[in-house]
Amino acid sequence: MAVSPIHTERLELIAFDPRVVQHLLHGEKQEAEKLLGTRLPDGFPSEDELVGFLDIQLKRIEAMPHRRAWMGRFMTGRESGEAIGHCGFHGPPEVIGRAEIGYTVFAQHRGQGYAKEAAAALVKWAFQHGEKRVYASVSPTNAPSLAVVKSVGFRQVGTQDDEVDGLELVFAIEPIEAPQP
């Protein structure tokens, strides 16, 4: 089932293809790149991305392929087609309990506003698909990510203790606050 990309001024947010994720999980990066149509940077995926992210995303995609739009996406440059990072939702809101975004920009592309652009686009997309509130959870020591969520218009609504990441600040945004990507 095809999932339309989310377009921003500079990015295309392309839903994870389960075949690409399977290749990455099996250490077959070149095969993944062929299917994706772009080169992925050295160091991707990291061990943390393999064990704590890609494997979970694949399980959710396989369990709910019709909800793939609510899962991970690659960020690619609209003009260059270059892999910029990955972003998306932790999973379908009915599975996760809320619409929650996440994003990672590959090191060589950081500091150029890509995370903010992707986050704003994900928020807008979620609102267009019926969500009334979107969340993001950020480590209190992750200054760049804190700057992203604040610049997009998120407001802190609490804290949580994540079993993997430890203490996180929980942010939320509602439609009236959402900026245009």
The tens digit of pLDDT for each residue in 84-110 reads 999 999 999 999 999 999 999 999 999
Integer Cα distance of 53 and 137 in angstroms: 15
pLDDT of residue 5: 97
This prediction has a pTM of 0.93
Q: Is residue 70 assigned to a domain?
A: yes
Residue 52 is predicted with a pLDDT of: 80
pLDDT score at 162: 85
Q: Is residue 94 part of a domain?
A: yes
> Is pLDDT above 80 for 179?
no
User: Is 90 exceeded by the pLDDT of residue 1?
Assistant: no
Domain assignment of residue 28, yes or no = yes
DSSP string over 51-71: IIIIHHHHHHHHH-GGGGGGS
Could you give the number of structural domains in the chain? Answer: 1
Domain that holds residue 121: 6-177
158 in any annotated domain:
yes
Judge whether 1 lies within some domain: no
Tell whether 126 is covered by a domain: yes
Let me know: does 160 contact 137? Beta carbons within 8 Å.
yes
CATH value at residue 160:
3.40.630.30
